[in-house]
């Protein structure tokens, strides 16, 4: 699976008021591994940043003056993103700006070029209701070092978000079975097991004593819940 973690920096908060993208950073994940095939560009927005935005990203008009315009990187960006699953923190913000930039060029909206868009802010709020779920807060929660983040930067923030996303979804990396098929999905650290033939796997069956102990445990659980325990229900007993 190919995923792209994406972030932008902008001149302000409202693309409908003429605010523009001044930096875009993307980090590629393939099968949940960083590949190093990243996309990054500063952009000349042809306008000044608002004071509040400048305080956040520190990218001055003078610094951006000789950088490419969005129209110059649009084709390469679309090719890079094509068909990938996109991961963004607070997706409506970045997608809104990308849609506005594409519309200026007569290009179809952002979502028409990519696969699913995953909003990590939405997921974080579902997982940690009532808590702070900014990127900095998530870095702290998941032990991702952001000590080098003094100002916002699109590529740096994408790299941090990639680490946070992998930590947030680590359970998806565990050994699991699709009950509707014979497919088995292995954790990355267990991929070597795919090389084993089934005939090489030794199956140890429970002894009579172990089965008796298991039944005694189930009876104890049944007594506690005053009925069938969940284990009997799942087993269809």
Domain boundaries in the chain? 2-173, 204-237
Q: What is the mean pLDDT of the chain?
A: 86
pLDDT of residue 143 exceeding 80, the answer is yes
pLDDT band at 148 (very low <50, low <70, confident <90, very high): confident
Q: Which of 57, 89, 113, 152 is catalytic?
A: 152
Under 8 Å between Cβ of 139 and 164: yes
Give Cβ neighbours of residue 48 (< 8 Å, ≥ 6 apart). 11, 61
Residue 88 to residue 8: CA distance in whole angstroms: 10
Catalytic annotation present for 89 = no
pLDDT in tens, 105-119: 999 999 999 999 999
Say which CATH class 2-173 falls into: alpha beta
Q: What is the pTM of this model?
A: 0.72
Query: What are the counts of helices (DSSP H) followed by strands (DSSP E) for the chain?
Result: 9, 8
């Amino acid at each position: 699976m190919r995923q792209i973690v994406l972030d932008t920096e902008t001149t302000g908060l409202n693309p409908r008021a003429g605010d523009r993208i001044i930096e875009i950073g993307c980090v590629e994940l393939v099968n949940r591994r960083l590949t190093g095939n990243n996309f990054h560009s500063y952009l000349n927005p042809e306008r000044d940043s608002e004071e509040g935005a400048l305080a956040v990203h520190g990218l001055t008009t003078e610094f951006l003056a000789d950088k490419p315009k969005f129209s110059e990187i649009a084709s390469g960006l679309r090719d890079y993103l094509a068909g990938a699953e996109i991961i963004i923190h607070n997706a409506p913000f970045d997608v809104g700006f990308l849609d506005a930039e594409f519309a200026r060029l007569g290009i179809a909206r952002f979502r028409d070029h990519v696969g699913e868009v995953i909003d990590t802010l939405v997921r974080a709020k579902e997982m940690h209701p009532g808590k702070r779920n900014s990127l900095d807060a998530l870095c702290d929660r998941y032990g991702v070092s952001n000590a080098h983040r003094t100002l916002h930067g699109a590529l740096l923030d994408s790299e941090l978000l990639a680490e946070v996303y992998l930590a947030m979804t680590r359970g998806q990396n565990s050994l699991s079975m699709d009950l509707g098929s014979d497919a088995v999905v292995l954790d990355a650290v267990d991929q070597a097991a795919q090389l084993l033939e089934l005939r090489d796997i030794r199956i140890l069956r429970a002894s009579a004593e172990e089965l008796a102990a298991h039944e005694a445990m189930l009876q104890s659980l049944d007594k506690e819940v005053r009925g069938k325990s969940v284990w009997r229900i799942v087993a269809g007993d």
